[in-house]
Amino acid sequence: MPRLLLVLILSFASAAQAAQSIAPGVYSALQEAQSAQQRGDYGAARKALQGAGAKPGSIEQALVWRSLGYLAWAQGDTADAVRWLDKALASGKLDEQTLAAERANLARLYLAEGDFARVVSLLKGADQQDADILRMLVQAYQGLGQHAKALPLAERYVAANPRAEDVWLQLLVAGNAELKRYSAAERWQRQLLLRHPDQPRSWRQLAGLQQLAGADERALATLRTAYAKGLRFSEAELDNLVLLAAAAGQPWQAARLLDGMLDAGLLQGSAARRERLAQLWWQARERSTAAELYRELAARSGQAKLWMNLAQLELEQAHWQAGLEALRKAERAGAERRQVRAWREWAESELSFERERQVARTN
């Protein structure tokens, strides 16, 4: 609100500077509206502006529209503020110096309204050395999903303001990650980590970026380092890192990370996690490793679905006898007979064909 008050005062100061070129009656109305607005009497301010008697198509009319816009803004009505300020700018009566300030203020309003394209349009020729202009442009490009345009501006802002708020670094992390520029995202995340070395979230986000980059060993090392510093993560946070890698189409890296966290004691080796590990190895086409885990899980739980998974894995590796044995145990555990029969017929057919081929080879 203090910033808005400053904007409003500046707007009326501009009107005062133009007093010599506008009709005395209109100038008096502008001054009266200013006084009423400062008292918080918005009704009196609006009445003064509406009765100003500005000539259509004149600079007086543009100044009244502009004042109506700032009055609406002060009342929290951004939609009405946008409407009046748009009319003032479109009039073509405001001088260049005033126009630059009005475009910036109108851009602030459009940003609040979520009209990001209009923000970019208004600030195209603005001074990009101005921190507020940079901030608005970055937010607008981010809102439009144009991260490649937002990032250079954000980097320029951070370079000029080494103590920039965390939100700027977070924006650079998120934007680069969105563009799959993981090394750049990691670089900015490390800067956040330097600021907050005792914040588990900073370490977890760094590990997540390393995981997305396919560097599961580095991600695990990051988690171990944080753990050695006495920081602790919730099991849900660590599980989510694995899910993140799997969702990114990296089952092998996800399996390696989960395996490493289980070995390091960062996660408890529950049956559910070991089954997820088996699934990830299977997705990564590491069938022998997956089969070993499924065999262990099925033997412990006796669940039919686990025996069926083991059977499928063995058959995918042409281990016909092992597959048939797993099918037998799955059926005994209550697996659907029709499904078991289909897999068994295929396995027995392949086994028979293999035996015939061996006999033919021997003959």
Listed residue (269, 307, 311, 263) closest to 287, CA to CA: 311
Contacts of 262 (CB under 8 A, 6+ apart): 269, 273, 274, 277
Check residue 5 and give its pLDDT.
Answer: 40
Is the model's pLDDT at 166 over the cut of 90? yes
Is the model's pLDDT at 237 over the cut of 70? yes
Round to whole Å and give the CA distance between 28 and 67.
Answer: 13
Is the model's pLDDT at 285 over the cut of 90? yes
Check residue 56 and give its pLDDT.
Answer: 84
Averaged pLDDT, 158-163: 88
Averaged pLDDT, 209-237: 91
What length does the chain have? 363
Question: Tens of pLDDT along 28-41?
Answer: 888 888 888 888 88
Check residue 33 and give its pLDDT.
Answer: 82
Averaged pLDDT, 55-64: 83
Check residue 187 and give its pLDDT.
Answer: 96
Is the model's pLDDT at 87 over the cut of 70? yes
More confident residue, 24 or 288: 288
Round to whole Å and give the CA distance between 151 and 176.
Answer: 8
More confident residue, 238 or 57: 238
Is the model's pLDDT at 25 over the cut of 90? no
More confident residue, 55 or 228: 228
How far does Cα 5 stand from its chain's mean position?
A: 33
Is the model's pLDDT at 6 over the cut of 50? no
Contacts of 327 (CB under 8 A, 6+ apart): 307, 308, 311, 335, 340, 343, 344, 347
Q: Which of 77-86, 182-191, 264-273, 354-363 has the lowest mean pLDDT?
A: 354-363
Averaged pLDDT, 141-154: 92
Average pLDDT, the chain: 87
Check residue 2 and give its pLDDT.
Answer: 38
Neighbouring CB atoms inside 10 A of 116's CB total 20
**Share of residues in the chain with pLDDT > 90 (%):** 51
